[in-house]
Structure 1
Amino acid sequence: MADAAVGFVVEKLGNLLLQEAINLYGAKGKVEWLQRELRQMQCFLKDADAKKNNGGIVGESIKNWVTDMRDLSFEAEDIIDTFMYSKLRRQQPGCIGFIKRYMFIFVDLIHKHKGYVDVEGIKTKLHDLSQRRSLYGIANIGETIGTTISQNVIPILPQLPDDIDMVGFDDEKKKIVQELVNVNNANLSVISIVGMGGLGKTTLAKSNYNDHEVIISQQYTILEILKVILSEKSETSSENTIQTLSVKVFEKLKKGKYLVVLDDVWKADVWNELLKVFPDVNNGSRVIITTRFLNVAKIANLTIQPHELRLLNEKESKELFLRKVFPRQDIETCCSADLVEYVHQLVQRCGGLPLALVVLGGLVSTKQTKDGWRKVVVSMKRQFAEGGKRCLEILALSYNDLPYYLKSCFLYFGCFKEDEEIPTISLIRLWSVEGFLPTKNDKTIEEFGFDCLEELAQRCLIQVTKGEYDDSKYCRIYDLLRDMCISEAKENKFLEIFQNDTANCAKMANAARRLIIFNEIEILNYSKSKLRGLFYGHRNLGLSFRALKGQLGKFKLLRVLCLNTNHMSEFPTKIKSLIHLRYLYLEGFLFKEVPSWIGHLRNLRTFILSSHKLKKISDSLWTIGNLRHVKLPMLFWDDPPNMGNNVPKNLQTLKMIKAGSWIGNTLPKLTNLCKLSIHEVSNDHADTLSSSLQKLGHLASLYINGHEIPSDNIITAFQDQHCLKKLSLYGSLNRKQLPHNDVFPQQLVELYLKRSELEQDPMATLEKLPHLKYLELFHAYKGKQMICSATGFPQLLSLKICFLYDLKEWKIEEKAMSCLKSLWIVKCKWLKMIPEGLKNVPLDKLVLEGMYKEFMNRIKENTGEDWYKIQHVPNIYSSYYYVSFFNLV
């Protein structure tokens, strides 16, 4: 009792001292003033940017002013965040926080005095900038967001090809095809495609080999290239040297005929090293390389002339340009007479460079009036430099035309590897925690984020694609656009890519707001502590943590931390001090426990963790009120969570959680959940799970794993809801037949049933789901016959039936699966033949794996008795092995 009284007196004294500090230095008032001024600075920057984009003349003086104002806004932001760091540190809960409140009283006084001095310095600089601003006519535009997304943007993401459209390369494509299939040449042949950036080398390569390609990025090492060819991207064994992997690759390729595509081979010595791993066994194997360097192409094959790509002529250029401006329209009639002259001028400026035509076409497609076209033409009046610089000029024009906030969204692509497929939802969450997405009353943050992606894709600055076997979305950026993106980002101190190079370190001047490290480094020589984002390693390459030791704790203002390390056995304790963190991604770790101090990260919104040995996560994680998205390791389900009463009610994503009493106590309170995956569900949870799921009106994606899943309870829980789009059930169902179609969620788009052990044909129920597009049955049905009725599965795009060991007969009636594009039949060993009705299904792709010899003989090309059923399918693949693609939430 006495100790408590003393503690109360000490706390009272501490509060008085802190209040005195505020009164003495006016810290709170100074910070509030600075926050107001920072908003004004950002408005000035947006206005200057808008003046530049609207055709205003931007001289060196204005550019210098903008640079100085940006630097000053960074400085102001640092002062505010530092003040908030000190405030948050004093608010830490528990005994440690209690002690810290008094240990740091006088340190805080010093910091507040320094903050006072810093703010006074900001005032002086701001006064100078304000005087200079009036000279340049840069007026305040007020507290507005800036340019908004155009109301005329097409509301659906454009279906872009894997790369820019094929125009003008038909002859080259025919020659390459002839070289690929030349039966008179059984030797290993290397086919080279040469040209400057943006000419369409990758496009041409992909058009000849568009499935299962091996794409090699310019920034990869030879070691990584060998891993990719072996499909061992995540391999981290120290035994994996170039020599050992070269032997593995050679032995793998020697076993059969192969086609390997190497995109953007950049040095002759790299090719000479790689050539050793491609065996020549006189079976007609081929290697295609693309390169910007003619000497590399000539070295690659002395007997075959390289395919040197030319610039497009005027007719071809106009065709490609109009395809992008008026998609899905007849290019002969799409352009009105009053725009013809503008088309001519714009096409001329591109100089026949395909990528420039595509990007400029994407820009013009957003201009709905003749005056909008005129402004683009006026802004391009000056002559461009030759070659790649001309393309970069045009790319920069499209970038400069972006609304202010969209520029930050676009520059963020520089944080990812070249050619990386980026999950769109992950990117939008990063944009959100960085504060790039303005608040819209009528839209959620994610909806507005997809609007931003849509506009970037509309302008052909990025690509947005959908997964072939599910409804997931990914985005990527052309390599030339990424070059421009990184150049702009560095100039604006938006990010810096750190290389293990002292000269490069000196050039960086430690000023960037985000630091990207993709290569192994010995030590991180980066002294500044103003970073907002740190990306260390990437999905395919974990780095040693040693370079961050002694450094991580310095970056106290970090909002985003993505670490991919090699087998680190302890949770990095320095993360504890990063109380501004909003996004924490940890992969490659082997620690067993997430400590209790994780609860100190009060601002954390996204927590993604991968650790194969994790056994315990502290309950303090669930006390973080700002949590939105939590994804835990797939093998973590030893203990169910103990969320208590203070649940993160804003939680939207909860993945890989073990079933327990929390399903009845806590799950009903998580009413904002959109994605949920639960493991080890059983019949014991049937009633509570059903009752809780009925309260989750926003749930769009659900994954359930268990030895015996109460399927009726789960499915009927969503009978009257309309949000659930994706359902995955992994385990034996407690009933051996599916519930009647009437109680199935009618909005389902994706359904995955694995090891369900159904005894009655599931197709009778599933084929009536009106919106179902993706269906996978994996060890799901034990019956001998399966029937797809006429008009059934009206929207189905992809179907996978795998390991249906007892299935003997499959009947597809006329007009069933009228939209099906992709079909996989895997290890259905007793299936006698391809269904007769498949001849009427408009398949693009058919994959047959692990089927018996008799089945395969019936579909032999031209000679098999069932060949007529599938001869219309353009892409047919068969093999005797299987890799699961079963989808999790």
Structure 2
Amino acid sequence: MEHVLKSERTSTSIDEEVVGFKDDAENIIQQLTGGTKELDIVSIVGMPGLGKTTLARMVFTHQCIDKHFDVRAWCSISKEYNLRKVFLKILKQVLGNLDDSPSEDLPDKLRKSLMHKRYLIVLDDIWEVETWEELQLSFPDDENGSRVVLTTRDEEVSRQLKHHSDPYFLRFLTVDESWDLLQKKVFQGEICPPELHKTGLQVAENCKGLPLVIVLIAGIIAKQREASLWLGFAEDLSSQVLEEQSMKIIESSYDHLEDHLKSCLLYMGLFPEDHQFPVFNLLNLWIAESFIHSVDTENVEEASKICLNDLVNRSLVIVSRRREDNGEIEYCTVHDVVHEFCMRKLTKEKFMQYRPSKEPQYIRFIHDDLVHQLLQYTKSLDRIPMLAGLKEGESFAQCHDRSLKFIARPKSRVWEKTFPLLDNLRFIRVLHLSDVCLERRSWTKAVQAATHLRYLAICTQEFDFQWVSHLHYLQTLQVVGNSDFSRRFETSPSIWKMKKLRHVDIQDFSFKWEDNNRALFEESSETLLPALKTFGKCRIYLADKTPEFWWRFPNIEQLKLHFIEPGYEVDMPNLEELPLQSLELCFSRPISGYKSIGRASCVVFPSNLKDLSIDRLCLTEEAFSQLASRRNLESLKLRNIYFKPEGRFWQAGYGICWDVSDYEFLALKYLLLQNVLVTEWRSSDSSFPVLEKLIINKCTILCGRIPSSFVDIPTLKLIKLICCDYSLQNSAFNIKNEVEEIAGCDSLQVLIQYQPDSKLYH
């Protein structure tokens, strides 16, 4: 039995592939697909770090499990959980899309959604029998072989919840298996040097068969390849009792981290157990808290990515999901044992105590008694000794250079008491309040005094840059509007005062640039945002933007714009001089003929572009030719695209022919086509020489054929078809078969997806 994450490690990416638990997985699969027709519970039991979740995930994603069950859903429960969120998470996976429902309707809605379906539900990390009792009525028994998989560290829980199948107890690794895993993690396929073999075996033996302990210790000794050091670790391990071994080894891993990595890891412990971190937000939070240090301040984002990958390499952070196009980490989490370690460590810090709550969104960087004392000493904060880490006898004024770290996602009734206190918390750096809709009057008044804010995320019905323009240290600004009440607003010259802005994300609002403000562009030094890196998801009127407007962001790297023009055929801007690497353009109007979408005849794309996504645009042959000339383009996503029937894009008497045979996308690795209507698609063997992934989603190619030239692309690894007809599927499999004949191996995967939760792997 192998318990390992196989990795290829670089400074910027780590690609994991679970390859272990073969015998265990086969046993669990047999229990799930065979046996009684009645609803059954299969429990996987083991102590923390033994691999319960890893095994369950292997089974959940296995090809035969996918084929056997009509629907599948995965939900992490943990010790503290929100029942409504559990129901919502399962329902979203069962139904694909889910409208908002009152809490009392969710259990019944789930029950009805599962009726007459053979389903598999995984409930990861169950702590109490009562949890199952709250959920069980929503899982109908239609005697069709439905199954529920539970993972738990508590044997008694598994015994009490037994239906038909006995609990499955994970065993510890043997010494040989432990040594095999340790070698794989330390040497990454290389051979262990003879001088380290004996001490390596001793380290493996003293890990007591726990995969998590082995993986963590491997992260430490991989960079310290000396027999004497390894022997020291082996002796330390042998002196630890089994129950505390995981915590001790995490402590050892933690002690070997650089100080900034320690802060980054502990910060993650302040979120709920099993929290899935959107990496973009997490990295910006680290930056706002000054955990990330870079000699080149312009590359602080890259430095934060390196920090994340360091923690992943040391097996302290787990990759949850990667971006499909470029493989970068999109979501991550920490193992529950690592989370528990962080919580213990945080309790020793005066102002970084965790307050547990049944509502997982209620998290703060506070001491147990801080809220009470804040309410008691509203007008005299210097009387609170532990505020912002004050030492005995130190006044509040004496620590003005240290910020109070504070992150909150509270219910409105909680925040109503705390919000007014921000007037006194002048050194707060982070406010994350995007989970509750705030009234303008309350939040604008509250942030007036918080002039040291570096990260602000809010949900509000009204917004204007002038309300936050006094926040001269602000780096990240996220504004989410209430879709029912969000309004259009006009930009204010105040935005140009916010020189430290690096990331702006405005959702659900539309805004316009006023004519009388354009004169400000004459004073170029005053109308620049030199630090701005990303500007995203903004709904704007393109006609309001003069060419000079785009020059105000000299260092921008990522731009996402949603155009809401009232008319048709609005010319795209010239963005050639911008240092953009990622660009996303979308028009509001759906396709109903090419005149109802944006015209791209005059578009000029940035010269260094790597990632391009365009939606609801009419592409002319001239515009496409200009696009193909971008030599650094690695990812291209075309959604709701109409190719203007002209030149090579027109086939007399036949229709729109998308002919790319004369174009060469020299760096393109990822191509997505979604809702693209063409009658024929032509390509040559040199059109996509390094393409790795082709994704076709709900496209109609009337000839029903992927160009045969795709057989000759040596780098092609995946063809994924989503809701496509059988002719396209047959075309993909024909290409796969020809590739196998030529290459002599199964190097190309074809994935057919009929709906979001129904996948067939080939």
The TM-score, its normalising length taken from structure 1, stands at 0.68
Q: Deviations over 1:263-314 (max 9, x none)?
A: 0011011112212211111211111110011121112224211001121111
- The answer to whether residue 497 in structure 2 is matched with residue 615 in structure 1 is no
The aligned residue for residue 347 of structure 2 is 490
The aligned residue for residue 79 of structure 1 is none
- The answer to whether residue 574 in structure 2 is matched with residue 711 in structure 1 is no
Contact 1:553 1:574 in 2 (8 A): yes
The aligned residue for residue 221 of structure 1 is 82
Q: Go from structure 1 to structure 2 and tell me whether the alpha carbon gap of 1:726 and 1:415 turns closer, same or farther (over 3 Å shift).
A: farther
The aligned residue for residue 288 of structure 1 is 149
Q: Go from structure 1 to structure 2 and tell me whether the alpha carbon gap of 1:348 and 1:602 turns closer, same or farther (over 3 Å shift).
A: same
Structure 1 range deviating more: 270-279 or 656-665: 656-665
Contact 1:529 1:554 in 2 (8 A): no
Q: Go from structure 1 to structure 2 and tell me whether the alpha carbon gap of 1:795 and 1:492 turns closer, same or farther (over 3 Å shift).
A: farther
Q: Deviations over 1:448-493 (max 9, x none)?
A: 2222222222211113452235544233221211211222223234
The aligned residue for residue 508 of structure 1 is 367
Cα separation, 1, equivalents of 2:97 and 2:415: 17
- The answer to whether residue 46 in structure 2 is matched with residue 195 in structure 1 is yes
The aligned residue for residue 553 of structure 2 is 670
Cα separation, 2, equivalents of 1:798 and 1:829: 19
SS of residue matched to 1:593: coil
Flag structure 2 segments of 5+ consecutive residues without an equivalent: 1-8, 63-71, 375-383, 389-402, 522-526, 588-595, 650-656, 740-746
The aligned residue for residue 436 of structure 1 is 291
Q: Among residues 372, 380, 404, which one is paired with 2:259 in the alignment?
A: 404
The aligned residue for residue 18 of structure 1 is none
Q: Among residues 140, 158, 162, which one is paired with 1:279 in the alignment?
A: 140
Contact 1:799 1:824 in 2 (8 A): yes
The aligned residue for residue 181 of structure 1 is 33
Q: Deviations over 1:862-887 (max 9, x none)?
A: xxxxxxxxxxx9716xxxxxxxxxxx
The aligned residue for residue 247 of structure 2 is 392
> Cα offset for 1:584?
0.5
Cα separation, 1, equivalents of 2:237 and 2:638: 59
- The answer to whether residue 437 in structure 2 is matched with residue 570 in structure 1 is no
Cα separation, 2, equivalents of 1:285 and 1:795: 44
> Cα offset for 1:826?
3.6
Matches within 5 A, 1:42-121: none
Partner amino acid, structure 1, of 2:470? H
SS of residue matched to 1:214: strand
The aligned residue for residue 240 of structure 1 is 103
> Cα offset for 1:399?
0.6
Contact 2:409 2:436 in 1 (8 A): no
Contact 1:677 1:703 in 2 (8 A): yes
Contact 2:422 2:449 in 1 (8 A): no
The aligned residue for residue 476 of structure 1 is 333
SS of residue matched to 1:284: coil
Q: How many residues align?
A: 663
Q: Among residues 338, 363, 373, which one is paired with 2:220 in the alignment?
A: 363
Contact 1:529 1:555 in 2 (8 A): no
The aligned residue for residue 141 of structure 1 is none
Q: Go from structure 1 to structure 2 and tell me whether the alpha carbon gap of 1:317 and 1:850 turns closer, same or farther (over 3 Å shift).
A: closer
- The answer to whether residue 114 in structure 2 is matched with residue 253 in structure 1 is yes
The aligned residue for residue 534 of structure 2 is 653
Q: Among residues 256, 260, 270, which one is paired with 2:131 in the alignment?
A: 270
> Hey, which of these two has a bigger chunk of strand by percent?
2
- The answer to whether residue 627 in structure 2 is matched with residue 770 in structure 1 is no
Q: Among residues 679, 688, 699, which one is paired with 1:793 in the alignment?
A: 688
> Cα offset for 1:786?
2.3
Q: Go from structure 1 to structure 2 and tell me whether the alpha carbon gap of 1:766 and 1:352 turns closer, same or farther (over 3 Å shift).
A: farther
- The answer to whether residue 440 in structure 2 is matched with residue 555 in structure 1 is no
SS of residue matched to 2:14: coil
Q: Go from structure 1 to structure 2 and tell me whether the alpha carbon gap of 1:511 and 1:288 turns closer, same or farther (over 3 Å shift).
A: same
The aligned residue for residue 66 of structure 2 is none
Contact 1:808 1:830 in 2 (8 A): no
SS of residue matched to 1:847: strand
> Cα offset for 1:510?
4.7
The aligned residue for residue 505 of structure 2 is 631
The aligned residue for residue 88 of structure 1 is none
> Cα offset for 1:831?
4.4
Please tell me the root mean square deviation across aligned C-alpha atoms, in Å. 3.5
SS of residue matched to 1:491: coil
SS of residue matched to 2:11: coil
Structure 1 range deviating more: 279-288 or 213-222: 213-222
Q: Go from structure 1 to structure 2 and tell me whether the alpha carbon gap of 1:203 and 1:803 turns closer, same or farther (over 3 Å shift).
A: closer
> Cα offset for 1:230?
0.7
Cα separation, 2, equivalents of 1:830 and 1:766: 28
Cα separation, 1, equivalents of 2:751 and 2:186: 34
Matches within 5 A, 1:734-745: 735=620, 739-740=624-625, 743-745=628-630
Cα separation, 2, equivalents of 1:267 and 1:672: 52
Contact 1:265 1:290 in 2 (8 A): yes
Structure 1 range deviating more: 740-749 or 761-770: 761-770
> Hey, which of these two has a bigger chunk of helix by percent?
1
Q: Go from structure 1 to structure 2 and tell me whether the alpha carbon gap of 1:579 and 1:789 turns closer, same or farther (over 3 Å shift).
A: same
Cα separation, 2, equivalents of 1:545 and 1:598: 20
Contact 1:440 1:448 in 2 (8 A): no
The aligned residue for residue 37 of structure 1 is none
Cα separation, 2, equivalents of 1:777 and 1:245: 35
Contact 1:681 1:709 in 2 (8 A): no
Cα separation, 2, equivalents of 1:625 and 1:811: 49
Q: Go from structure 1 to structure 2 and tell me whether the alpha carbon gap of 1:478 and 1:542 turns closer, same or farther (over 3 Å shift).
A: farther
Structure 1 range deviating more: 811-820 or 319-328: 811-820
Contact 2:36 2:145 in 1 (8 A): yes
The aligned residue for residue 582 of structure 2 is 701
> Cα offset for 1:563?
0.9
> Cα offset for 1:441?
4.1
Cα separation, 2, equivalents of 1:766 and 1:481: 54
Cα separation, 1, equivalents of 2:559 and 2:45: 48
Partner amino acid, structure 2, of 1:739? F
Q: Go from structure 1 to structure 2 and tell me whether the alpha carbon gap of 1:423 and 1:712 turns closer, same or farther (over 3 Å shift).
A: farther
Cα separation, 2, equivalents of 1:494 and 1:765: 63
Contact 1:317 1:354 in 2 (8 A): yes
Cα separation, 1, equivalents of 2:674 and 2:726: 15
Cα separation, 1, equivalents of 2:295 and 2:211: 37
Q: Deviations over 1:556-577 (max 9, x none)?
A: 2111110133333435121221
The TM-score, its normalising length taken from structure 2, stands at 0.79
Partner amino acid, structure 1, of 2:53? T
SS of residue matched to 1:669: coil
Structure 1 range deviating more: 259-268 or 824-833: 824-833
Cα separation, 2, equivalents of 1:739 and 1:594: 37
SS of residue matched to 1:177: helix
> Cα offset for 1:801?
2.0
> Cα offset for 1:850?
7.1
> Cα offset for 1:638?
4.4
Partner amino acid, structure 1, of 2:429? R
- Computing the radius of gyration from Cα coordinates, the structure with the larger value is 1
Contact 1:250 1:278 in 2 (8 A): yes
Cα separation, 2, equivalents of 1:273 and 1:442: 51
Cα separation, 1, equivalents of 2:423 and 2:714: 58
Q: Go from structure 1 to structure 2 and tell me whether the alpha carbon gap of 1:411 and 1:747 turns closer, same or farther (over 3 Å shift).
A: same
Q: Among residues 352, 359, 371, which one is paired with 2:209 in the alignment?
A: 352
> Cα offset for 1:436?
1.6
SS of residue matched to 2:25: helix
